[in-house]
């Protein structure tokens, strides 16, 4: 798909309280099957979450999160999947790294620097995300300039990670859409996403079904695919290189058509539409 092809991170929530797909989290077996589907759809890695970031519910215990996540990580890693885990609790980090996870997606903004030490010890990657709110708390700081704050925060957190033994090439940065930000502030940060390129690190675009998309479109979470795709395209044009999404197959289709129209995808002269794809019959009543 050309040199600008992003990595696709498929969202695999095993948290019943998740804001958009919590009801999909049932058994370990169901979660593993869902993970396989995301990989078959085109995900390059899976981001497994055992606790929703929603702020209207209390945090689950580290023990409960480990119970939910570790068996799924173990099974999918055994099947050859690249696995990230969305967590901010150090005991969970240690458990999933021991189970073979490759990346920690820390949505706390590295509040516990020990997480960086664990990632360094295991040779795992770490997502450095901007947020000024404690996990599971809805805080909206009075930013003087939210974009400046994101840049300064990421720079400071990178230094913390490096001071705890990590190498720069283990780090990914995330501007933290919706985290400690109003929809308008999230949009402002994304409009200036190119400022994060100064760090010369991969930029994670965690845009799927987010509040700012819902605020713009007045759509419920599962109805935000079109808005998500618009945000993904915009973010990729401004330096994003990893896309975290729920609807992997839709994003793959979007990226394929986008690449073709940009001349990044070879088009065979005999390209044609298969006859069975030409029409759909209306369902019988």
The residues that are catalytic are 210, 244
The DSSP code sequence of 190-213 is: HHTGGGGGGG-S-EEEE-TT-HHH
Least Cα distance to 53 among 114, 11, 98, 81 occurs for: 11
| Structure tokens, 22 | 């919590």
Displacement of CA 59 from its chain's centroid (Å): 20
Taking CA atoms, 83 is separated from 67, 74, 97, 129, 250, in Å, by 17, 10, 10, 18, 21
Q: Given the structure tokens 């100064």, which residue do they identify?
A: 198
Taking CA atoms, 216 is separated from 140, 195, 231, 250, in Å, by 19, 24, 11, 20
Distance (Å, whole) CA 203 – CA 175 = 8
Least Cα distance to 127 among 171, 189, 87 occurs for: 171
SS3 content of the chain, % helix, strand, coil (to 5): 45, 15, 40
Distance (Å, whole) CA 45 – CA 58 = 28
Distance (Å, whole) CA 94 – CA 87 = 11
> Exposed, middle or buried by CB within 10 Å (0-12, 13-18, 19+), for 24?
middle
Buried b (16+ CB within 10 A) or exposed e, 48-70: bbbbbbeeeeeebebeebbebbb
């Amino acid at each position: 798909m050309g040199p600008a092809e992003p990595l696709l991170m498929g969202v695999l929530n095993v948290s019943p309280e998740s804001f958009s797909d919590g009801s999909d989290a049932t058994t370990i077996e169901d979660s593993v099957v869902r993970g396989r589907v995301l990989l078959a759809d085109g995900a390059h890695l899976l981001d497994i979450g055992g606790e929703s970031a929603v702020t209207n519910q209390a945090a689950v215990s580290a023990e409960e999160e480990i119970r939910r996540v570790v068996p799924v990580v173990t099974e999918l890693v055994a099947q050859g999947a690249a696995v990230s885990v969305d967590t901010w609790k150090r005991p969970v980090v240690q458990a999933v790294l021991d189970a073979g996870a490759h990346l920690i997606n820390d949505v706390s903004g590295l509040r516990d620097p020990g997480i960086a030490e664990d990632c360094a010890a295991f040779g795992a990657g770490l997502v450095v995300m901007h947020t000024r709110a404690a996990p599971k708390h809805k805080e909206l700081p009075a930013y003087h300039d939210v974009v400046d704050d994101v840049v300064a925060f990421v720079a400071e957190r990178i230094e913390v990670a490096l001071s705890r033994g990590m190498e720069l090439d283990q780090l990914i940065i995330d501007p933290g859409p919706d985290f400690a930000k109003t929809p308008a502030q999230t949009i402002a940060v994304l409009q200036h996403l190119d400022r994060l390129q100064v760090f010369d690190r991969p930029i994670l675009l965690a845009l799927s079904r987010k509040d700012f998309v819902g605020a713009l479109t007045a759509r419920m979470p599962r109805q935000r695919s079109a808005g998500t795709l618009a945000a993904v395209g915009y973010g990729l044009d401004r330096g994003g290189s990893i896309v975290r999404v729920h609807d992997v197959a839709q994003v793959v289709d979007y990226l394929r058509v986008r690449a073709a129209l940009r001349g990044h995808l070879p088009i065979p002269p005999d390209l044609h539409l298969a006859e069975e794809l030409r029409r759909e019959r209306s369902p019988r009543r």
